[in-house]
Amino acid sequence: MGDSEEGEIWTQQKRTLIDGVAERLLNGDLDSKIQAAIDIRNILRNSSVKTRSKFTAAADVIQPLVSLLLSPNQHAAEVSLLALLTLAARNERNKVRIVTSGAVPPLVELLEFQNGRLRELAIAAILTLSAAAPNKLTIAASGAAPLLVQILSSGSVQGKVDAVTALHYLSSCTEATTPVIDARAVSPLIKLLKDCKKYSKFAEKTTALLEILSKSEEGQTAISNSDGGILTLVETIEDGSLVSTEHAVGALLSLCQSCRNKYRELILKEGAIPGLLRLTVEGTPEAQERARMLLDLLRDSPPEKRLASSVLERIAYDIAARVDGSDKAAETAKRLLQDMVHRSMELSLGRIQRRAASCTPSQIPPT
């Protein structure tokens, strides 16, 4: 038997299998529907995106699976969720069809469920569906976000990771008429950022959300009032990835721009200057600009007497051009600024050590 004949027989077998599964899912009793949902997942678990698309086109299984989500039988809800997640994996069209078939309201109900397994699957489903741009507005308006914020405090480790990612997707929904998250998210986000690796993808998403929250007065107050809130952002500037440092300095800049008198000392107290100086040299272009703006706001001198960071760079460039010529000026200027940053950090550390040495034990503030 030739390859084409084997392929044709396999196609016929698969079509018969798909038709049987769809029939049981549509018209069978509850046990038959549960088994059909399990079969769908088993058939598609290791299949290609193309196969998933063909399966969905051949049998309209999404709507009956969404209906099964509403079942009071927890096992039925679980297997339908698993089947829907399998259909949605790496398939944008299926993600959109699942939402347009009415999956979001039952998923939101499951986010409130006490059954940990079902809630974890619902979080994963909201995350997966939120990745598709056409779904964001529907999910953002569904009431899912406040429940995801609650999970930041009470969920499992995986649940918290998925909740942050889902909120990160939803926060980019420009069509939403109200903010997706509010200041209640600040405290759990700060705690999560404090406990994670600052250069991780998770930290990047967490700091992105904190930067969004730092734009409102309530968010600014929540960041400054959170235990270690400003310090955690300063530590992210020192140890984070290019993306997380950009968001962290953006959040601190929002605070200082909103009320310099209120936030300047709080930021200085946490030792932000060395990290900001380094960022003016090593950060992304956006992070460099934000760091310069924040450094200008943190200086003691009044605005009209401040030496702007851009002026400092221009001076370094002019010196470099005279020494090494214009061809190498940019590289030499960067090296000069790096030396200045390191020297500034050494001087700051020296001043702190001298101050500590001159204090009596009773004068040293408690740590």
| pLDDT at site 51 | 73
Residue-wise pLDDT tens digits, 107-155: 999 998 866 889 999 999 999 999 999 999 999 999 999 999 999 998 8
Q: Indicate whether 74 belongs to any domain.
A: no
Q: What is the pTM (predicted TM-score) of this model?
A: 0.78
Q: Indicate whether 365 belongs to any domain.
A: no
If you write DSSP's letter for every residue of 179-241 in order, what string do you get?
A: -SS-GGGHHHHHHHHHHS-TTSHHHHHHHHHHHHHTTSHHHHHHHHHSTTHHHHHHHHHHH--
Q: How many domains does the chain have?
A: 1
| Rg for the chain, CA atoms, rounded | 28
Question: pLDDT above 70 covers what percent of the chain?
Answer: 77
**Residue 45: band (very low, low, confident or very high) from pLDDT cuts 50, 70, 90:** confident
Domain range for residue 227? 187-300
Cα distance from N-terminal residue to C-terminal residue, the chain: 80
Q: Indicate whether 211 belongs to any domain.
A: yes
Tokens of 66: 């969404």
Tokens of 191: 């705690």
CATH (domain of 215)? 1.25.10.10
| pLDDT at site 222 | 96
Tokens of 226: 């959170």
Q: Indicate whether 254 belongs to any domain.
A: yes
304 vs 5, 254, 255, 258, 316, CA distance in Å? 83, 21, 21, 19, 21
Q: Indicate whether 158 belongs to any domain.
A: no
Burial environment of residue 83 by CB neighbours within 10 A (0 to 12, 13 to 18, 19 or more): buried
Asked if residue 237 lies in contact with residue 276, where contact means CB atoms within 8 angstroms, the answer is yes
pLDDT surpassing 90 at residue 361: no
Asked if residue 288 lies in contact with residue 279, where contact means CB atoms within 8 angstroms, the answer is yes
Q: Indicate whether 159 belongs to any domain.
A: no
Element (H, E) at 40: helix 30-44
pLDDT surpassing 50 at residue 6: no
Q: Indicate whether 353 belongs to any domain.
A: no
Tokens of 70: 């509403």
Q: Indicate whether 251 belongs to any domain.
A: yes
Count the alpha carbons within 13 Å of 263 in the hemisphere toward its beta carbon.
25
